Chains A and B, each alone.
Chain A
Amino acid sequence: MIELKHLSKVYDNGKTRVEAIRDINLTIEDGDIFGIIGLSGAGKSTLIRCINFLEKPTEGQVIFDGVDLGAISHKELLKKRQDMSMIFQSFNLLSQRTVIDNVCFPLEIAGTGKKEARKRATELLEVVGLSDKQKSYPVQLSGGQQQRVAIARALATNPKVLLCDEATSALDPNTTSSILNLLKEINRTMGVTIIVITHEMRVIEQICNKVAVIDSSRIVEEGPVKEVFTAPKSQIAKQLILPKNDFVQEVEGLNCLRLVFDGTSAFEPVISSLSRECDTDVNIIWANTKSIEGRTYGQMIIQIPEEKEKETAIKAYLDSKKITYKEEGINVE
C-alpha cells in the first residue's frame, strides 16, 4: 500500500518558483491499477517521481508498506526502489546492451547471481512475448517491443509496484492496447500494484480500477473509475472524459434527450425495447458509450418525436429503467 500525505514539490531556482504538485493526498491499495490523469504540465511526472523519491518532495510523506521513504537512509531507499519499478514513455533501455542483458540489469544492481539472473530474465521475456529477441539490441526493436523489454526489466526484481509514466504515449493505438493488456495481465497474475500516469482517458478506461484527476498541481477528483467516469464533477474531468461535441449545429431545433448510462444496463436493448414499448422511433444522434469491466458507461443523445404523449411515454419508460436523462443538454461542458 502506498500512502501519499500532503505531498508537495516546489521547483525554485531563485528566479522562478514552480509549485509542480501541491498537497497531494492519495492512497493506493495493493492490487490496484491506479490511474492518474491530467493535462500536460499538470504535475503528473513530478508526482510519480516523488513516489519513488527520484524527486525529493518539498513537503509531505510517501509511505510505502508502512515505511516513510523520506525517513530512511539513502542506502535503504535504493533497496526500496527495487520494490517499485518504473517504466517510461521513451522506454529508456540501455542501447549498448542486448535485450536479455537489459532485463538482467536490475538484477545485477540488486546483486543477484549471474546464472539466476539469466534464468529470471529468460522467464520474463517469455511473459512479455519476446523470447526470440534475447540477443537483439534495442535499436533493432519496434517501440512496442522496446516497451515490452522495459516491462520485463521492471519486473525482474519482483517489485510490488510498477510505476508507469506515460508508458504508452509514444505508441500507436493497437500497440497501446496490447501493452495495456499486458500490464493488466501482470497485475492479475503477479499481483503487482500498478500506478499509471496518462493524459489519455482510454488508458484509464482500459485498465484502471481507480482514478485521480490532477489539474494545476492538485488532485481535483478521485474515486473508482466507474464513478468518476459516469459522473465527472470537476471541470477538468468533464473535459478529459466527456467527448467534445461537434454536432451542435445539427441538433439545434430537434427534440433531444441525453441519456446517461451508469453501468446498470446495456444500451442496445434499452433503445430497441424503448422503441418497441413506446411504439415510436428514436434516432441516435450521437453516442459515446464504453464498456468498462463488462458494463456500459457513457452518454447518448437521442432524437425523439415532437408529440407530447410519446415524449411522456419515453420518459416514463426511462424512469422505469432507472436511466438518467436530461432534456437537450447538448453542451457537454
Chain B
Amino acid sequence: MLNSAMVGLLGVSLWETIYMVIISTLLAYAFGLPIGVILNITAKDGICPNKPVNSVLGVIVNVFRSVPFLILLIWMLPFTKMVVGTMVGPTSVIVPLVVSAAPFVGRMVESSLNEIDGGVIEAAQSMGSSSWQIIYKVLIPEAKPSLIIGAAISITTILGYSAMAGIVGGGGLGAVATNYGLYRYNNEVMLITIVIIVVIVQIFQEIGMMAAKKLDKRLK
C-alpha cells in the first residue's frame, strides 16, 4: 500500500527528476545551440562554409550520439567526480546527461536552422549583415517555432535518460522505479512512477507544441 513515507519519497524523487531535467536541458542547450549553429553555418551551403570544422564537429557529435547513454554514464564516472565531486545523486547525473544530450540538441538545432529559406539569408547578406548578425537576427528568430518543438523533444529525451540514470544511483523517479519496481517487485510503485513520467512527458510535449504554434507567424 502507498503509505505517507512512499508519497514523500515520490515527491522528493519527482522534484529531483525535474531538477535534473531542467538543469540538464539548459546546459545541453548552452552547448548544443552553438554546436547546431556551427554545424549549420559551416556546411557547404551555409553562411561560413568550412569543411574541416564541419567534418570534425560532425564526427564528434556522431560519436557521442552513438554511445548508449548508460555506457556513457558509467564511462564518464571519473570525469563526473572530477567536475561535481560526487558520483551519486541527481547533481552527478547532470554531467553525463549534458554530455549525452548536447550533441543530440546540436543536431536538432542544426536541422531547425537548415529549414530556413536560403533566400531570406541572401536578402540579409545583400543588406550588409555580418555573419553574426545573420545568426542572431535571421537564423535563430526565423527558426524559433521549430527550435521550440526541438526543445520539447529534447527535454523528453533527457527525461528518459534521467530515469535510466536511476539504475546507477542517480536519484529521481528512475531510482524509485529501480529500487521498488525492479528489486522489490512492487508493481504499484512501478506503475505510479511510470504514470508520473508519462504525465510529465505529455505536459512538456503539449507546452512545446502550443508555444511553437502560438509563436509561429507563418500560420495566421
Contacts and interface: CB of A to CB of B under 8 A. Distances in A.
Contacts of A105: 124, 127, 137
Given A95-B142, A96-B144, A139-B218, A52 B126 contact: yes
Contacts of A112: none
B30 interface: no
Contact of B141 (A79, A88, A97, A139): A97
B130 interface: yes
6 contacts: A81-B127, A88-B119, A90-B119, A93-B123, A97-B141, A98-B217
A317 interface: no
Contacts of A108: 137
Given A108-B137, A137-B220, A54 B126 contact: yes
A290 interface: no
B122 A92 contact: yes
A54 B137 CA distance: 19
Nearest to B145: A96
B198 to A, nearest CB: 33
B2 interface: no
Contacts of A109: 124, 127-129, 133, 137
A86 interface: yes
Interface of A: 52, 54, 77-82, 85-86, 88, 90, 92-98, 105-106, 108-110, 137-140, 150, 157, 163
Main secondary structure of the interface of B (DSSP, over half): helix
B125 interface: yes
B219 interface: yes
A145 to B, nearest CB: 15
Interface in B166-220: 215-220
A96 B137 contact: no
Interface of B: 117, 119-120, 122-130, 133, 137-138, 141-142, 144-145, 215-220
B141 A78 contact: no
A88 B123 contact: yes
Nearest to A139: B218
* Pairs of residues from A and B, 8 with the lowest C-beta to C-beta distance, nearest first: A81-B128, A92-B123, A86-B126, A78-B128, A92-B119, A106-B127, A137-B217, A82-B128
Most buried by A among B117, B120, B124, B128: B128
A216 B150 CA distance: 45
A52 B129 CA distance: 13
Contacts of B125: 54, 81
Given A78-B129, A97-B141, A109-B127, 7 more contacts: A81-B127, A81-B128, A88-B119, A95-B218, A96-B217, A109-B133, A137-B218
A36 to B, nearest CB: 17
A137 B216 CA distance: 10
A288 B55 CA distance: 59
A15 to B, nearest CB: 14
A86 B129 contact: no
A319 to B, nearest CB: 53
A20 B120 CA distance: 23
A137 B125 CA distance: 21
B141 A92 contact: no
Contact of A139 (B124, B133, B220): B220
Contact of B128 (A93, A96, A110, A163): A110
A155 B166 CA distance: 60
